[in-house]
């Protein structure tokens, strides 16, 4: 009786071809269906400085729609830079930009806090004046498909003050 299967036949080659075919199909499907700006959102990036130096500490930026609608966004500012993209991006339109930054101080010494500061001894102080956040009138328009870059250098002589009752220095240098 004659054997139907060739004894020299190996399954490795057909399996490899099937694996490559499946991988090609799945990659083709993924690349064509992913939108560059989900939900119509655009990427915004930029740098934020405080008196010419990159804004650091606990800092963030918020884009609030002028018309009160949805589509705004927020991002953390790290070493002066930020980026909102993908689902964190911002829909085209006009926005009020709010910039926030705080730093923790040791309330007994008035010095900038670090990892050795006793828990419960920290006090958070804003280092950006309200006219750049809660009272901001800074506008920025996000355009579809555009190069949406918002760079800003906050120029201020604002000196944050320690809250009443805190010991240590009365003013905090920024």
- Give the global pTM: 0.70
**Hey, what are 100's tokens?**
């926030």
Query: So what's the pLDDT on residue 49?
Result: 96
What is the distance between the alpha carbons of residues 156 and 107, in angstroms, rounded to a whole number?
A: 24
Query: So what's the pLDDT on residue 34?
Result: 42
In a domain, 149, yes or no: yes
Query: So what's the pLDDT on residue 113?
Result: 73
In a domain, 30, yes or no: no
Structurally, how many domains does the chain consist of?
A: 1
One DSSP character per residue, 82-107 reads EEE-GGGSB-SEEEEEEEEEEEEEET
**Residues whose CB falls within 8 Å of the CB of residue 97, separated by 6 or more in sequence, listed in order:** 61, 62, 63, 64, 136, 138, 139, 140, 150, 152
User: Is-contact 152 136, C-beta < 8 A?
Assistant: no
In a domain, 171, yes or no: no
Domain that holds residue 131: 38-154
User: Is-contact 64 100, C-beta < 8 A?
Assistant: no
One DSSP character per residue, 101-121 reads EEEEEETTT-SBP-TTSPTT-
Query: So what's the pLDDT on residue 32?
Result: 42
| Backbone torsions φ then ψ of 25, nearest 5 degrees | -65, -45
Provide the 10 A C-beta neighbour count for residue 45: 15
Query: So what's the pLDDT on residue 171?
Result: 53
In a domain, 88, yes or no: yes
Task: Please list the pLDDT of the chain residue by residue as tens digits (174 residues).
Answer: 444 444 454 545 554 445 555 555 554 444 444 445 668 899 999 999 999 999 987 899 999 999 888 889 999 999 999 999 988 999 999 999 999 998 887 777 777 777 677 777 788 888 899 999 999 999 999 999 879 999 999 999 987 766 665 555 555 545
What is the distance between the alpha carbons of residues 21 and 125, in angstroms, rounded to a whole number?
A: 59
In a domain, 4, yes or no: no
Which CATH number covers residue 130? 2.60.40.10
Query: So what's the pLDDT on residue 108?
Result: 75
In a domain, 6, yes or no: no
In a domain, 160, yes or no: no
In a domain, 15, yes or no: no
């Amino acid at each position: 009786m004659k054997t139907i299967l060739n004894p020299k036949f190996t399954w490795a080659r057909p399996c490899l071809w099937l694996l490559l075919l499946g991988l090609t199909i799945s990659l083709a499907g993924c690349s064509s269906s992913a939108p560059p700006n989900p939900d119509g959102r655009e990427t915004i990036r930029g740098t934020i400085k405080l008196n010419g130096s990159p804004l650091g500490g606990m800092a963030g930026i918020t884009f609030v729609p002028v018309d009160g609608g949805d589509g705004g966004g927020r991002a953390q500012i790290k070493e002066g830079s930020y980026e909102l993209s993908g689902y964190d991006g911002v829909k085209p339109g006009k926005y009020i930009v709010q910039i926030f930054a705080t730093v923790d101080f040791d309330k007994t010494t008035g010095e900038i806090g670090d990892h050795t500061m006793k828990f419960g001894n920290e006090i958070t102080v804003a280092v950006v004046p309200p006219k750049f956040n809660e009272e901001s009138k800074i506008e920025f328009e996000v355009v579809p498909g555009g190069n949406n870059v918002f760079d800003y250098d906050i120029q201020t002589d604002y000196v944050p003050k320690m809250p009443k009752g805190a010991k240590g220095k009365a003013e905090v240098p920024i």
